Structure 1
Amino acid sequence: MKLFAQYVKARFGLFVLSGACALIFGLLFFLYGLEPEAYGYGLTLCLVALTIYVARDFAAYYKTHHVWRELLDVSLLNVALEETTTDPDLRALFAQIAREKNELIAAGEARKTDLTDYFTLWIHQVKLPVSAMRLMLANHDLNEADWKKQIFALERYLGMVLAYLRMKSDSTDYVIRMFSLDSMLRAAIRTFSTEFIYKKIRLSFTPTGLEVLSDEKWLQFVVEQLLSNAIKYSALGSTIEMYANGYDLVIEDHGCGISASDLKRIREKGFTGENGRVHKEESSGLGLYLCEQVLARLHHPFVIESTLNEGTRVVLRLDPALLERE
C-alpha cells in the first residue's frame, strides 16, 4: 500500500489531468443538454482504459522499484545498470557510467603496473650499494672515499624514487617562475663535486647569464640526472662541458657515447643498452626515463646526440616561449 501511495504521488499529474478532463466533459454535456447516460457510458470506458493503463504502469513501477531495492544489497561496480531499466535515456547514462568506470579501472591497473615495474628496477639497483657496503664491513674496509661513493649512490637512488613518487602524485604542483639558470646549475654541480674529484673529471662550465621560466626544483633534478650520466660514462681525466646556446642548455661529455640502435630507446624505462652491460653496476635505466617524464610536464623538449666512442651531447630547450604557448 505504501508503494502504491508513492506511485500515485509520482504520477499525481496524470490523475489530476484525468479528473480535470472528466469534469470538463461533464460540464460540456450539461451545458449542451446531452443525455447523462451517454456521459456516464463514456466516463466508464475512460475509467476502464485508465485502470488498465495504471495497472500496467504500476506493474512496471513495482518491478523497477524492487530491482533498485535489490541493488542496494550488492556491489554496484559488478552490475550492468543499463540492464535494470527500459528507459533509453537512463540506459545511455548507465552505459556511459560503465565506460568511465572501466577507463578508471584500466588507468588504475596501468598505474599499479607502472609502479610495480619501477620499484622492481629500483630495488635491484639500490641493492648494489647496500651489498657493496656490507662487503666492505665484512672486509673491515674503512676507506673513506669508498664509503662516500656508496653512500652517494644510495642517496641518488633514494632521491630518484622520491622524485618518481612526487611526479606520479595527483597533488604534485609545479611552481613555474623566472629564476637564474646559473644559480641552479651551480647547485647541481656542487652535488657532484666529490664525483668530479674521484674520477678526475674536469668540468668546463660557461655561465649562461640566462633567466628561465620553469620549476627550479624539478629542472635541477633533471640537470643532476644528466650530469650523473655524463660522469658515469666519462673516462678518468676527461672533460664535461656545460654551456648555453641561446636558450638551449648543452651538457656534453667525451665518454663512451651511445650506439645508434640504443639511441632510439634510451628514454624507455629500464633500458640500459650496451653501456648498461658494460657499466651494469651503475646503470639503472631509470634516469633518462624520469627526465623524459619531468621535461614533458615542464614543456621543455630535449635532444640527445651521440657518437659511439666519442661522446654524448644533451640539449635542453628552455625558451620561455615554449612554456608560454602551452
Structure 2
Amino acid sequence: PGNEGTQMRILTAVDGTRYLVCSGLIICPEQCLTFVSAQSLDGLFTDRALRLRDALLGQTLALAVAALLALLLCRRMVRPLEQLEAASREIAAGAYDRRTALPGSDEIAGLSRSFDEMAAAVQDKVNALQEHIQQREDFIAAFTHELKTPMTSMLGYADLLRGTEVPAATRQKAADFIYHESKRLEALSGRLMELMQLNGSEPPSLEPVRLDGVFRQLTRALPQTPPALLVPDCRLTVLAQRELLCDLLYNLALNARHATPPEGTITLETAEQPESVILTVRDNGCGIPAGDLPHITEPFYMVDKSRARQQGGSGMGLALCERIAVLHGTHLTFESSPGAGTAVSFTLPKPKEADHETA
C-alpha cells in the first residue's frame, strides 16, 4: 500500500463542483489507517475570478485615463502650433500686426517669440514700404501740380504772343513772365536732381571741419543785400562733410532771407555741448504757423505759395536741408510762431581728436 506518511493531493470535480482531495497513510502495528480530506475550491476560484476581473477593470480604467491624459497633453502641445499656423495665415492675408505671444520658456515659446519678432520685422518693412509709396505718390502729385500751374500760364502767354498783334507793353510783360517761370522751373529741376542724388547716396565720410571757415564761405556766397546776416566769432570744430554743411547752412540762411523783411536780421548761433555743437539759424521774420511745422520739410511744401513763387522759391530748400542733416546723423528742429520769427537747429558731433582740422 505504501509508506507511512505518504500524502496525495487530487483536484477533481464532482457535479460541477471542484474539490481538493488530500489523503495520508498511517501504519499501525495491527492495521493501516488512511485519512482522506476533501475541500470545495469554488470559493477560491470565485475569489480568483473576482480579483482577475477587478485587475482587468483597473487596468482598463488606467489605460483609459492614460489615453485621456495623453490626448490632453497632445492637445496642449499641438494648440500652440495651431496658433502659430493660424497667425501665419492671418499675416499672409495681410494682418501684419498679428502676434502669438505664447507664454513659457520651452521650445515652442521660444519659437513663438522668434515668430513674433519675424512678424514685427515684416510689419516694419511693409509700413516703411507703404510710407515710401505714399511719399512717392505725394511727391509726384505735388511735382505735377508745380509744373502744371506755370506751364499753363506760359502756354497761355506764348499762344497770345504768336496768335495776335499785341502792344509792346503786353508783349514785354508776357516775355518777362515766361522768362521768370522758366528760370523757376530750371531751379526746381536742379533742386529736384540734387534731392534725388542725396536720397540715393550713402552717408558721407565725416571729417573735422572748422566752423569759422564754413561761416566765411557762407558770408561770401549769400547776396550782400538786406536783411543782414550776423555770424559769430567761432573756432569750434565739428565732424561733417564740408560741402554738404555749407549747402545746409546756405539753404537755411536763404530760406530765412525769404521770410525776413529788409530791416530784419538773420543770426547764426552756436552752442557747444560736451560732445557736440548745436548750430542754429534764427530770424525775426514772419514765422511759421504751428499747423505747417510738421510739413515744412516735405518736398514742394510752401507756407505762403504766392510769396514763395514771387521770390523764386520751389518748396525744395528745407527738404534738401533735412536730407543733408539725416546724412550727418541728425535732424532739423524748428521753433517758430507767426510774427516772431523762426529758429532752425541741428546738432553735429565734435571730433574726438582736434589735431587735423579743415579750416
TM-score using structure 1 length: 0.52
- The answer on 1:276 being equivalent to 2:309 is no
How does 1:238-277 map onto structure 2 within 5 Å? 238-246=264-272, 247-273=277-303, 275-277=304-306
Deviation of 1:238 after TM superposition, in Å, equals 1.7
Deviation of 1:155 after TM superposition, in Å, equals 7.0
> Partner residue of 1:116?
140
> Partner residue of 2:197?
166
Aligned partner of residue 217 in structure 2, secondary structure: helix
Identity %: 22
- The answer on 1:190 being equivalent to 2:223 is no
Deviation of 1:264 after TM superposition, in Å, equals 2.9
CA RMSD of aligned residues (A): 4.4
Deviation of 1:167 after TM superposition, in Å, equals 1.2
- Cα separation, 2, equivalents of 1:286 and 1:222: 12
Conserved in 2, the CA contact under 8 Å of 1:235 and 1:255?
yes
- Cα separation, 2, equivalents of 1:244 and 1:319: 13
Deviation of 1:168 after TM superposition, in Å, equals 2.6
Deviation of 1:113 after TM superposition, in Å, equals 4.0
- The answer on 1:312 being equivalent to 2:342 is yes
> Partner residue of 1:236?
262
Aligned partner of residue 285 in structure 2, secondary structure: coil
- The answer on 1:299 being equivalent to 2:329 is yes
Aligned partner of residue 144 in structure 2, secondary structure: helix
How does 1:147-226 map onto structure 2 within 5 Å? 156-169=187-200, 172=202, 174-193=204-223, 196-197=224-225, 200-226=226-252
Larger Rg: 2
Aligned partner of residue 339 in structure 2, secondary structure: coil
Q: Which has a greater percent of helix?
A: 1
Aligned partner of residue 295 in structure 2, secondary structure: coil
Conserved in 1, the CA contact under 8 Å of 2:238 and 2:351?
no
- Cα separation, 2, equivalents of 1:255 and 1:105: 38
How does 1:122-141 map onto structure 2 within 5 Å? 123=147, 138-139=171-172
- Cα separation, 2, equivalents of 1:302 and 1:105: 23
Deviation of 1:205 after TM superposition, in Å, equals 1.0
Deviation of 1:320 after TM superposition, in Å, equals 3.4
Deviation of 1:251 after TM superposition, in Å, equals 0.9
Aligned CA distance change for structure 1 residues 155 and 166 (closer, same or farther; 3 Å): same
> Partner residue of 2:112?
none
Conserved in 2, the CA contact under 8 Å of 1:230 and 1:253?
yes
Deviations 1:36-59 (A, max 9, x none): xxxxxxxxxxxxxxxxxxxxxxxx
- Cα separation, 1, equivalents of 2:262 and 2:243: 30
TM-score using structure 2 length: 0.47
Conserved in 1, the CA contact under 8 Å of 2:203 and 2:328?
no
Conserved in 1, the CA contact under 8 Å of 2:212 and 2:233?
yes
Aligned CA distance change for structure 1 residues 265 and 257 (closer, same or farther; 3 Å): same
Deviation of 1:124 after TM superposition, in Å, equals 6.0
Q: Gapped runs of 5+ residues in structure 2?
A: 1-121, 162-168, 353-359
Conserved in 1, the CA contact under 8 Å of 2:331 and 2:346?
yes
Aligned partner of residue 230 in structure 2, secondary structure: strand
Conserved in 1, the CA contact under 8 Å of 2:280 and 2:343?
yes
Aligned partner of residue 344 in structure 2, secondary structure: strand
Conserved in 1, the CA contact under 8 Å of 2:287 and 2:336?
yes
Deviations 1:102-152 (A, max 9, x none): 979979966864663464366469879x99xx99995299x9xxxxx9998
Deviation of 1:231 after TM superposition, in Å, equals 0.5
- Cα separation, 2, equivalents of 1:178 and 1:249: 15
Q: Gapped runs of 5+ residues in structure 1?
A: 1-98, 144-148
Aligned CA distance change for structure 1 residues 201 and 137 (closer, same or farther; 3 Å): farther
How many residues get paired? 215
1:163 maps to a residue whose letter is: E
Aligned partner of residue 292 in structure 1, secondary structure: helix
Name the stretch that deviates more: 175-184 or 281-290: 281-290
> Partner residue of 1:20?
none
Name the stretch that deviates more: 283-292 or 303-312: 283-292
